[in-house]
Structure 1
């Protein structure tokens, strides 16, 4: 029997996850802007009609929109919420012009833009560091404890006691690295570099495809080699060591995300796995019903996702602005206004199209289209 966290818990959990993460992302931009003397005209959480807001003594309007799926900081000198440059900033009086985003040196603008994603990564690192200190980290040696007869590993020639050094050329530090890599690659050939009796050898194996359903009825495909680990080793780390461990874990999660996108692009994984706000809301409700630990870990994952996605080189996203700044640094002059306007509009169309697509995927995952077909 599947369980459901309920609509109310799902909505509250979603707002409790997305709202603070969006706020902290935009707060990163805001604080970096203040550091360099840029005036923030609007700090918005959510889109659409303003539900409520206030204007502080610096002249910044803090607003809350009815659609809590994002946010933005509009600095002086910005034309719109996408931080498209406003040509009118050049006509401002010198004192006001000095407070605009466009008047700042290139390196300062780059820091202000990058501060949003950085804030998301800092949130994730703090959560993962807390887990490392309180729960511990997996340090089980990357050794095949046992190999199940008839499994993918046995068929490929992997034996108990083999020490696995790399998977597809990627170094592994513990058994968890192997499991994480294999799970994400059902039916995909993997090249293992293993050490046996002091000698290195290369073994190629194809993980079997298996399916798992959680208590909420979600069904997932995953890869399975049929290798069990030796005695698990989980160690708590010190306050000094925890940040470094958390950074490594954050980079590992980002690498897994890049792998997943690559698999979707190359057709190894279906595009139906791309999810949007509805599925985030679903996962938030499920994590909240599973307990505070599950919810905290989900917050870390989503925070990494927000930071990573915003760094993609797509106009309208932070990564698109940084791409323009990189080009400006090489050319020693800004990209032309017409080119930027065309790029921002194209980026907006791309983002809206992607939002529609992932929403369609979400509804399909919920069985809506099957219901319509009867």
Structure 2
């Protein structure tokens, strides 16, 4: 496999990975820290990274904030913790008076400890929700009517509509909204132009223009065949294996029919014709209604030949979108894990550090927006992973707290040490399995 994507080098990939991970870790650990402080638990150390300390300062609350040499994680060490995993330092706690013991992680009330532990993953989810909401606030949402916004840059021989045109019918099918235009993506014939009835400056007229869903690249998926081949956003695919294509569904059909065989693409880019050869890859895609479908893909998303007219989105609608997007990532991640366990989809869908690093670099190479979006997706995944009921992870600590709430006392120190050792072995095994996927999966 290619350990470093073709778009860049080792340094670029590592910088992107470290930047993404550091942001996510900082938010996660800040959740632990701030809720712990609000709950009366004293944080002795807030660290981004592990190992030798590169820089540090102590704030007025007595917490040492530091950056360490190994930037692949972080931790908050609370009063009474024996280590970064919040192991109990029995001797240190015994030496504390009653007031100080209350300020330790292990001497605080159960509600304070549980809230502090849960805050890390919750802050990861909040980061994702804010990012997704921010995107829709910045871009707005498409208005309901089928009005042409800014036409995309296309070859000179491709006839398009003008900005402001209101589409009332396509190829004889009445159009009442932009949703009607989208629904025609599979119905209109694959021909160079279609007949449109439009209103332009208040005047009704009939004009010819390209199909709404032309084979223009609107997005390139990281670690895909398209990215490896060098396709870029804005490329227009004119032919596949010498056969002209006029609609995105022709491209999709050709990719499916290839069953992984090489495809030759004639691509228009900024006034030039280029040739690319790529082989579709078999991928498992989450479905909105749940489950997965396995398809041959090259890793691009198509779109309309114009940008729809947009309108501002309110804070409530943006927040609802952020929550829905975060919820979909959680649901599809859990569904994917279950389908991998049952063998319904390939275990190669589980990425390790190399795969995540490559995806980080790929997202960063496509621009700041894509990189920020990737950080939000990864933040959700990190928050979800930390909630798994595995000792060492936050979910394992919450499981111990749940036991204490039911039994009236925490597990014994001996039992906790055993559970933590088992949890560490499970986590290391999972990481090794994911790393093996990075190396051996296609």
Tell me the alpha carbon deviations over residues 169-210 of structure 1, each in whole angstroms, 9 at most, x when there is no partner.
Answer: xxxxxxxxxxxxxxxxxxxxxxxxxxxxxxxxxxxxxxx796
| 3-state SS of paired residue (1:287) | helix
Say if 1:38 and 1:100, in contact at 8 Å, map to a contact too: yes
TM-score (ref. length: structure 1): 0.72
- Which residue pairs with 2:36 in the alignment? 33
Structure 1 residue corresponding to 2:55, chosen from 52, 56, 63: 52
Structure 2 residue corresponding to 1:7, chosen from 2, 7, 10: 10
Distance between the aligned counterparts of 2:279 and 2:58, measured in 1?
Answer: 46
Instruction: Please tell me whether residue 292 in structure 1 is matched to residue 368 in structure 2.
Output: yes
Instruction: Please tell me whether residue 326 in structure 1 is matched to residue 330 in structure 2.
Output: no
- Which residue pairs with 2:283 in the alignment? 221
CA shift in 2, pair 1:4/1:220, >3 Å: farther
| 3-state SS of paired residue (1:49) | strand
| 3-state SS of paired residue (2:106) | helix
Distance between the aligned counterparts of 1:349 and 1:51, measured in 2?
Answer: 30
CA shift in 2, pair 1:282/1:218, >3 Å: farther
Distance between the aligned counterparts of 2:16 and 2:279, measured in 1?
Answer: 19
Q: How does 1:110-121 map to 2 (within 5 A)?
A: 110-121=114-125
Number of aligned residue pairs: 305
Q: How does 1:45-124 map to 2 (within 5 A)?
A: 45-88=48-91, 89-124=93-128
- Which residue pairs with 2:392 in the alignment? 316
Q: How does 1:220-239 map to 2 (within 5 A)?
A: 220-222=282-284, 223=294, 237-239=313-315
- Which residue pairs with 1:131 in the alignment? 135
Tell me the alpha carbon deviations over residues 238-295 of structure 1, each in whole angstroms, 9 at most, x when there is no partner.
Answer: 2231111210111111000011101110112222221122211111111111011111
Instruction: Please tell me whether residue 301 in structure 1 is matched to residue 377 in structure 2.
Output: yes
Larger helix share, 1 or 2: 1
Deviation at 1:57, TM superposition (A): 3.8
Q: How does 1:163-182 map to 2 (within 5 A)?
A: none
Structure 2 residue corresponding to 1:248, chosen from 320, 324, 327: 324
Structure 2 residue corresponding to 1:269, chosen from 345, 368, 371: 345
Q: How does 1:140-179 map to 2 (within 5 A)?
A: 145=184
Say if 2:282 and 2:295, in contact at 8 Å, map to a contact too: no
Unaligned runs of 5+ in 1: 149-207, 368-374
CA shift in 2, pair 1:235/1:340, >3 Å: farther
Deviation at 1:147, TM superposition (A): 5.7
Instruction: Please tell me whether residue 362 in structure 1 is matched to residue 438 in structure 2.
Output: yes
Deviation at 1:77, TM superposition (A): 1.6
Say if 2:46 and 2:63, in contact at 8 Å, map to a contact too: yes
Q: More displaced, 309-318 or 9-18?
A: 9-18
The two structures, once aligned, show a CA RMSD in angstroms of 3.4
| 3-state SS of paired residue (1:8) | helix
TM-score (ref. length: structure 2): 0.62
Unaligned runs of 5+ in 2: 145-177, 188-255, 264-275, 285-293, 297-301
- Which residue pairs with 2:25 in the alignment? 22
Q: More displaced, 54-63 or 12-21?
A: 54-63
Distance between the aligned counterparts of 2:409 and 2:280, measured in 1?
Answer: 51
Structure of larger gyration radius: 2
Distance between the aligned counterparts of 1:240 and 1:346, measured in 2?
Answer: 44
CA shift in 2, pair 1:56/1:133, >3 Å: closer
Deviation at 1:355, TM superposition (A): 1.9
